[in-house]
Amino acid sequence: MSKSTPPGPPLAPEDLLIDIDPSLIEEALASVDRKGRAAKDAPGPDVVVVGEIDVAIDAPAPAASAAPDDERRRLQYRVREQQETIRRLERELARATEGRDSLDRQVRDVRKAHSELSMDFDRFRQRARKDLEEAERRGEDRAMRPLVDVFDNVERAWLHAVSDPAQILGGLQMIVEQFKRLLARLGFERVEADRGMLFDPSLHEAVLHVHAEDLLPGSIVDEVQAGFRLRGRLFRPARVTVAAPPPGSRG
Specify the CATH number for the domain of residue 195.
2.30.22.10
Judge whether 89 lies within some domain. no
H helix intervals, the chain: 22-41, 67-163, 167-185
Length of the chain: 251
Judge whether 250 lies within some domain. yes
Judge whether 144 lies within some domain. no
* Overall domain count for the chain: 1
**How far apart are alpha carbons 236 and 219 in whole angstroms?**
20
Span 90-107, pLDDT tens digits: 888 888 888 888 888 889
Whole-model pTM above 0.85?
no
Q: Which domain range does residue 211 map to? A: 189-251
Judge whether 34 lies within some domain. no
Judge whether 75 lies within some domain. no
Q: pLDDT grade, residue 40 (50/70/90)?
A: low
Judge whether 201 lies within some domain. yes
Judge whether 246 lies within some domain. yes
Neighbours of 203 (CB within 10 A): 16
Mean pLDDT of 25-35: 61
Judge whether 182 lies within some domain. no
